[in-house]
Amino acid sequence: MWQPIISFRDALPADASQIAALINASYRGETSRKGWTTEANILDGLRTSEHEIYQLIQAEHSKIIVCIQNETLIGSIHLLHTDDSAHIGMFVVKPELQNFNIGKQLLTAAESFAQAQWQVKKLAMLVITVRKELIAFYERRGYKRTGLFQEFPVNPAVWQPKLKGLKLERLEKLVKLYLL
């Protein structure tokens, strides 16, 4: 299988527009259907905004890692440090480049950062429960379903659910701390 040459770096404030555009195109709308992680059948509207991404890049205890190929931003992942955990969100790879192990590498880079820099004991995320294939992806990476659910947030000015009763489930992965 073809493996693209990629690199990772911290997001810069100047990246906010590109990151927001990539996230929105990869989660929602017709372009997202080129990948397997689309939410186009579940939600309409935007996933995020340039302003929100800019704030996350600047925020304390927050980190966005970007994936670069040939000087082009092709993926990103957000980490939020809370107590002994790192919460993962807005994880995205350009739809037409999914299935080339880029997502696995980006997730591993984010997990490694959280363990090395924040010494977290667990990694956590919220996943829409109807996204069975996505939950299976995370389970293959060592994440466990917790049985902790919450209602999908309402924000009609930004997104509109196509399905009623959407819920989020918390997934967690315990990590081992390695002392040198």
Residues 43-72: what's their mean pLDDT?
96
- Whether the per-residue pLDDT at 114 is higher than 90: the answer is yes
Can you tell me the mean pLDDT for 9-13?
A: 98
Mean model confidence pLDDT for the chain: 92
Q: Measuring CA to CA, how many Å separate 6 from each of 16, 109, 133?
A: 20, 12, 25
The angle formed by the CA atoms of residues 50, 53 and 55, to the nearest 5 degrees, is: 110
The crossing angle, in degrees rounded to 10, of helices 50-58 and 16-27 is: 120
Strand partners, 126: 170
For residue 36, give the 3-state DSSP assignment: coil
pLDDT band with cut points at 50, 70 and 90 for residue 28: confident
Q: What is the mean pLDDT of residues 147-170?
A: 91
Answer yes or no: is pLDDT of 135 > 80. Answer: yes
- Going from N- to C-terminal start, the domains of the chain cover 7-174
Please state which of the four CATH numbers 1.10.10.10, 3.40.630.30, 3.20.20.10, 3.40.190.10 is assigned to the domain occupying 7-174: 3.40.630.30
Asked if 8 contacts 66 with a C-beta cutoff of 8 angstroms, the reply is yes
Are the beta carbons of 10 and 63 closer than 8 angstroms? yes
